Structure 1
Amino acid sequence: MQREYLEDKETLYFKFEQNKEDFIVDEIGLNFKGKGNFLILRVKKVELTTWDMIAEFAKFLDIDAQKIGYAGLKDKHATTTQYISIEAKYEKALKKFKHPQITIIGSTHHTHSIRMGDLKGNSFTINLFGVSQIEAGQIEKRARKIVKNGLPNYFGYQRFGRDEDSLEQAKAMIAGELHINDAKLKNFLISIYQSQFFNDWLKERVLFSRENNNGEFALLEGDVYMDTKGKFFTPKTKQEKDFKAQKVVPTGLLCGRDVFRARSDARKIEEKYDDQFLYEKGYRREAVVFPKDIKLDYKNNFDILNISFSLPKGSYATVFLEAIANRNYKAKKIK
């Protein structure tokens, strides 16, 4: 499943490794009240999934893991920080918590538990290897242009499993060829199925933009937009001015029930990637996101370029790197 990008530039072959030293992720949380019945912990974990980390806290406190709130899942092969919530009555007990791969680095209080999606985004610091001085300049130029024009908001290779085995399971389940009893696994596979349709739709829109709009994402009549408050709307005219000002973004369909569909020209493309018989709830996802806070530090003697940036929640750092390199990555190619 090839991902295409807005500029078809020369391919760059820098490397990166998802490990604890070279791939750092920090969750950008919401504004917590500083008071309330829930304890908010800022936690650093190393080479652990979010679920593994939560399981360690649940085991230590002898509680059900479902009583621990979190906003999003973070990479295993990285050093990551994120926020979790636990009832405040466990605050004293947590002072004795120790784990070789988990560190509590801050705490506050809030009025309710953290729920999935309760974050603004994530910031990333990643080392790129095998970068010449000339390539470092090319990478910076491309990154700055993506910041201005936007990044196609594909689901990254991580979404689909190693060798896309999760995607094949999802297709088999939807086709009725595979029966899944576990409700969480079933929902996960449905989300994989929806994600594939979204990526295929976005690829077509990107190729259309490359051919018809000089490498900037082309808006179409009937697009469904999202504003800065997360509200969806379908205006009578294309929102060129507000899109360039990053006040609104066009969205793509995650097929299912009870969701806005595009209209007019936008719908002609969207309907190719819409399974209207899927009963699960649908949603819409930003077609384009805008990376921010770009910083680059080139270590000339070692051919290493350190790049840091932030992305909105649900967006993939590896997709940003793919857009810069103009090539696709796969899980088996990343160490």
Structure 2
Amino acid sequence: MSQESGSPSWRLEWPTSSGKRPGKAQLKSVPEDFRVTEKLWPDSEVPGSVHGGAGEHLCVRLEKSGDNTEFVARELAAMAGCKAFEVGFCGLKDRHAVTVQWFSLYCPGRESEDAALLQTIGARWAVLASGRHARKLRRGEHLGNQFDLVLRQVSGNKAELEQALTLLGERGAPNYFGPQRFGIGGGNLERAVNLDPSRLNRKKGGRRGGGGSGSKNVLYFSAARSWLFNEVLAARVEAGNWFNGVPGEPSEDGQPTGPLWGDGGTLATGELAEFERAVVSEHPEFERLFLSTRMKPERRALVTRPEQMNWQWQDDNALRIQFFLPPGQYATTVLGDIFELKDMSLSRDNKQES
């Protein structure tokens, strides 16, 4: 963070793996250019009519476009006659895309009403599969997401781009959190700096997922935590060791991870702990947040590795790319290591608001 005229300026761009982006491209020119298919269960364990699932939760697999996940969840709750927090899902999906994902609806003892409810849902969104399940779906428990993306107005040396894509498939990219987490101009970070750490405790009598100021405080705290992770990862990228282990790495498999800061700072030890603490010490405005909370330190992978990655040029300016990512990793982070991306959906939003 830098300070100019008393107003903070937050870094929201971090170094790429090669130090440059060899190409430029437009993303989400139309929703069909950004297709995401959530992989929830192994094929042999998919609940539903095929495997005769049973339980208090009706699971539905929907294809949607133009609606984000939380909006769909609220609408499903109204259709099912349950509370909004009784609708489960594993991850948030963009509305400017064609997405396939699972939702669970708490409908105990109402199996006889499933067909009518599915018909009501199907009038709004395409229902691709359904079935009963014993548990509510929860954040991050899916296997991951399959992406099928088309970049348009691609510019750059084609040979250099293909070399970068090959390396990306082999080594991966720095696993940064995307700038949207930090708010416009880093607004969520500014709010975190001015946050009273004591207000991060759970609200009295509050219900998880109930919203309100408590959930906003957690959002700002999470933004600060994510930003510190990006700062540590950026330092590792600049040091050239982001894809290798460093002495003191706490992960069981030895894969490189970075800190999600908490009470006590970091789980790393030795050389790595010293490195991470040195980076975070440059941001004392955030250190105080973690000294006053009971949030446990966690770790996050430094490398995002797209699996089963392949690409095809549709013409000289359009590139189709497909890959699979585990939960909590982002396609825009992967592609942003190579391309300077222009999100065309943002332009459409601005036109609609004007």
- In the superposition, the TM-score normalised over structure 1's length comes to 0.81
Residues 333 and 72 of structure 1: is their aligned pair in 2 closer, same or farther, counting only changes over 3 Å?
Answer: closer
Distance in 1 (CA, whole Å) between partners of 2:138 and 2:264 is 22
Contact kept in structure 1, 2:199 and 2:217, CA below 8 Å = no
Aligned with 1:294 (options 309, 320, 323): 309
Question: CA separation in 1, counterparts of 2:152 and 2:139?
Answer: 34
SS in 2 for 1:63: coil
For the structure 1 residues 176 and 99, does the alpha-carbon distance in structure 2 shift closer, same or farther, using more than 3 Å as the test? same
Quick one: which amino acid aligns to residue 71 of structure 2?
Answer: D
Task: Note closer, same or farther for the CA distance 1:315–1:85 as it changes in structure 2 (3 Å cut).
Answer: same
Report the equivalent of 1:36. 54
Amino acid at match of 1:36: A
Structure 1 residue aligned with 2:213: 182
Name the CA distance, whole Å, in 2 between partners of 1:16 and 1:330.
5
Distance in 2 (CA, whole Å) between partners of 1:46 and 1:328 is: 21
Determine the structure 1 residue equivalent to 2:50: none
- Paired residue for 1:225? 251
Deviations 1:117-143, CA, capped at 9 Å, x for gaps: 1111111122111225x7444333212
Q: Using the alignment, how far apart are the partners of 1:256 and 1:329 within structure 2?
A: 34
Map of 1:153-172 to 2, 5 A cutoff? Answer: 153-172=175-194
Q: Output aligned runs, 1:1-335, within 5 Å.
A: 1=11, 2-9=13-20, 11-17=22-28, 19-31=30-42, 32=45, 34=47, 35-37=53-55, 38-87=57-106, 89=110, 91-98=114-121, 102-131=125-154, 135-173=157-195, 182-209=213-240, 217-227=243-253, 239=254, 249-257=255-263, 261-271=267-277, 272-273=279-280, 275=287, 276-281=290-295, 282-300=297-315, 303-325=317-339, 327=340
For residue 148 of structure 1, report the CA deviation from its aligned partner: 1.5
Q: Please say if residues 229 and 259 of structure 2, whose CA atoms lie closer than 8 Å, have aligned partners that are also in contact.
A: yes
Q: For 1:313 and 1:123, locate their aligned partners in 2 and report how far apart those are by CA, in whole Å.
A: 11
Task: Name the stretch that deviates more: 17-26 or 39-48.
Answer: 17-26
Q: Secondary structure of 1:15's partner?
A: strand
Q: Deviations over 1:101-125 (max 9, x none)?
A: 6322111332211111111111112
- Secondary structure at the residue paired with 1:131? strand
Which string of whole-angstrom CA distances, capped at 9 and with x for unpartnered residues, describes residues 42-71 of structure 1? 111211111100111111122211111111
Quickly say closer, same or farther: Cα 1:105–1:3, change in 2 above 3 A: same
**Is the contact made by 1:33 and 1:110 (CA closer than 8 Å) also made in structure 2?**
no
2:88–2:138: 8 Å Cα contact kept in structure 1? yes
Aligned length: 306
1:297 offset after TM fit, Å? 2.0
In structure 2, the partner of 1:242 is none
User: CA–CA distance in 1 between the matches of 2:64 and 2:294?
Assistant: 33
Tell me the distance in 1 between the aligned counterparts of 2:333 and 2:268. Answer: 25
Q: 1:157 to 1:62 in 2, by over 3 A?
A: same
2:214 partner amino acid: A
Q: How many Å separate the matches in 2 of 1:11 and 1:136?
A: 9
Structure 2 residue runs of 5 or longer lacking an equivalent are 1-10, 48-52, 201-210, 282-286, 349-354
Letter in structure 2 aligned against 1:80: T
Instruction: Measure, in 1, the Cα distance between the counterparts of 2:252 and 2:60.
Output: 31
Residue equivalent to 1:246: none
Give the gaps of 5 or more residues in structure 1. Answer: 228-238, 240-248
How big is the alpha-carbon RMSD for the aligned residues of Structure 1 and Structure 2? Answer: 2.9
My pick for the range that moved more, 98-107 or 34-43, is: 98-107
Structure 1 residue 195: Cα displacement: 0.4
Q: Letter of the 1:128 partner, please give it.
A: L
Counterpart contact for 2:21–2:338, Cα < 8 Å:
no
- Determine the C-alpha separation between the residues in 2 that align with 1:137 and 1:334: 30
Asked whether the 8 Å contact 2:189–2:220 carries over to 1, the reply is yes
Q: Compared with structure 1, are the counterparts of its residues 117 and 93 closer, same or farther at alpha carbon in structure 2 (3 Å cutoff)?
A: same
Contact 1:17-1:334 at 8 Å conserved across structures = no
- Identical columns (%): 27
| Paired residue secondary structure (1:323) | coil
Distance 1:136 1:294 in 2: 18
2:326 partner amino acid? P
TM-score computed with the length of structure 2 as normaliser = 0.77
Asked whether the equivalents of residues 90 and 142 of structure 2 are also in contact (C-alpha less than 8 Å), the reply is: yes
User: Structure 2 CA distance, aligned partners of 1:258 and 1:66?
Assistant: 32
Change (3 A) 1:87 1:172: same
Deviations 1:279-310 (A, max 9, x none): 14232111112111212121226x21111111
Q: What do residues 141-190 of structure 1 show as CA deviations (whole Å, max 9, x unaligned)?
A: 21221222222111012212233222222222257999x96222121111
